[in-house]
């Protein structure tokens, strides 16, 4: 079988995040996993791209279903002030249970986040894991025992800086 690089290859451009203002909205559902993802994103932005810790605003909501509304409200509020957010990351963890909740919430949240992004003109990174079981969620937050574990918050932090910088250029 032909091999390929799974996931995203690094950009050839260098991004300076030192003047970016970033909003992270995360859930309190599945909090230990969410916390690791938030840490992965924030540490990546500050250590790799010089995003200032004081320019990262962190807000929480109950569950993933609330993420699009919160992101929309906070973007609106920031536009009324002088300091806009250049980029937003919505972080949550949905784990499939025995009912249809997972499917409905995942569909609504992914559509909602895209809508907020296109309507507001502010890039919103889709940092929502949609996992079939606990092990998948732990592995994708860099937790647990599996060798293949990887904290996806790192990728979301990188994506946020790239989109925030590009959005400043393109606006």
Question: Catalytic site residues?
Answer: 101
Residue 91 or 159 having the CB closest to ligand DLZ: 91
Residue 133 is given by DSSP the state S
Q: Is 66 in the site for ligand DLZ (CB under 6 A)?
A: yes
Residue 153 near residue 24, CB atoms below 8 Å: no
User: Which position among 52, 60, 63, 136 is part of the footprint of ligand DLZ (CB under 6 A)?
Assistant: 63
Between strands 87-95 and 22-27, the pairing is parallel
Non-local (6+) Cβ contacts of 46 within 8 A are: 52, 53, 56
Site for ligand DLZ in 86-105 (CB under 6 A): 92-95, 97, 101, 105
What is the number of the residue whose Cβ is closest to ligand DLZ?
63
Residue 139 or 162 having the CB closest to ligand DLZ: 139
Q: Where are the beta strands (DSSP E) in 96-147?
A: 124-131
Q: How many CA atoms lie within 13 A of 126 on its CB side?
A: 16
Q: Is 65 in the site for ligand DLZ (CB under 6 A)?
A: yes
Label residues 87-126 b or e (16+ Cβ within 10 Å = b): bbbbbbbbbbeeeeebeebbeebbebbeebbeebebbbbb
Q: Is 113 in the site for ligand DLZ (CB under 6 A)?
A: no
CB of 69: closest distance to ligand DLZ in angstroms? 10
Residue 22 or 91 having the CB closest to ligand DLZ: 91
Which residues of this protein are in contact with ligand DLZ, per CB under 6 A?
27, 29-30, 62-66, 92-95, 97, 101, 105
């Amino acid at each position: 079988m032909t091999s390929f690089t799974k996931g995203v290859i690094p950009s050839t451009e260098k991004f300076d995040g030192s003047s970016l203002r970033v909003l992270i909205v995360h859930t309190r559902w599945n909090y230990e996993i969410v916390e690791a993802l938030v840490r992965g994103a924030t540490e990546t932005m500050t250590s790799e791209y010089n995003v200032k810790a004081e320019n990262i605003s962190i807000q929480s909501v109950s569950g993933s279903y609330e993420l699009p509304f919160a992101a929309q409200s906070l973007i609106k509020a920031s536009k009324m002030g002088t300091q806009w957010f250049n980029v937003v990351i919505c972080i949550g963890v949905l784990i499939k249970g025995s009912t249809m909740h997972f499917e409905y919430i995942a569909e609504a949240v992914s559509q909602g986040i895209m809508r907020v992004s296109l309507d507001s003109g502010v890039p919103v990174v889709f940092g929502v894991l949609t996992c079939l079981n606990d092990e998948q969620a732990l592995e994708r937050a860099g937790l647990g025992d599996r060798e293949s574990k990887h904290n996806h918050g790192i990728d979301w932090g990188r994506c946020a800086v790239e989109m925030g910088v590009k959005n400043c250029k393109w606006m």
